Amino acid sequence: MVKIKLITAITAIAILVGCGSYASTGAYTGATLGSILGSAIGGITGGPRGSDIGQIVGMGVGGVVGATIGEQATRK
What confidence tens digit (pLDDT) does each residue in 20-51 have?
Answer: 778 888 888 999 999 999 999 998 988 888 88
pLDDT greater than 70 at residue 13:
yes
What pLDDT does residue 52 have?
Answer: 87
**Nearest to 76, CA basis, from 33, 21, 9:** 21
pLDDT bucket at 19, cuts 50 / 70 / 90:
low
Q: Which residues contact 27 (CB under 8 A, 6 or more apart)?
A: 63, 64, 66, 67, 70
Domain borders along the chain are 22-75
What pLDDT does residue 18 have?
Answer: 63
Instruction: Give the predicted TM-score (pTM) of the model.
Output: 0.66
What pLDDT does residue 60 have?
Answer: 92
